Amino acid sequence: MGIQKFDKSTWTDVCAAVSTGMLGKRAEIEVISHADGILIGAQSLPMIGIAFDPVNDELKIMLDGVDHFVSQPREMYLDFGLGGVQSLGILDNQNAWQIVLLRDPVMLPRRPDVHD
């Protein structure tokens, strides 16, 4: 487990392989750059998956209701834990980091039926 860097030639397959494990997790996207500081791109949205388009050199992070695009990404790191991917780090061509933090949704206990 831990952080693993992936060669760009494998990104299409890696994204397809890890997307199913991300489905339904809650995602927060932070964009960190020297020029703009830390910007929040999304907060606690259900994750659908990620895909890399090598023709357009674009990484797409798909969330419920919004997609986040990273044009000309240079590096991609995945942080694996016991529950699968915990976070992604993508370095873009402007040296800004796109950090995707994944969390399992909060599951509340079932309310006992008042008639039981």
Which is nearest to 20 in space by CA: 65, 81, 75, 62? 62
Which is nearest to 67 in space by CA: 48, 94, 85? 48
Sheet holding 97-103, edge to edge: 2-6, 75-81, 84-91, 97-103, 26-33, 37-53, 58-63, 66-71
Tell me what the pLDDT averaged over the chain comes to: 89
> Please, how many CA atoms are within 13 Å of residue 79, restricted to the half-sphere of its CB?
10
Q: CA 108 to CA 66: how far, in whole Å?
A: 26
Mean pLDDT of 107-116: 68
Residue 115: pLDDT over 70: no
Each residue of 55-74: pLDDT tens digit? 999 999 999 989 999 999 99
CA 53 to chain centre: 16
Residue 19: pLDDT over 80: yes
Is the pTM higher than 0.85? The answer reads: no
Residue 95: pLDDT over 90: yes
pLDDT of residue 38: 77
Hey, what are 29's tokens?
A: 């996207």
pLDDT of residue 101: 93
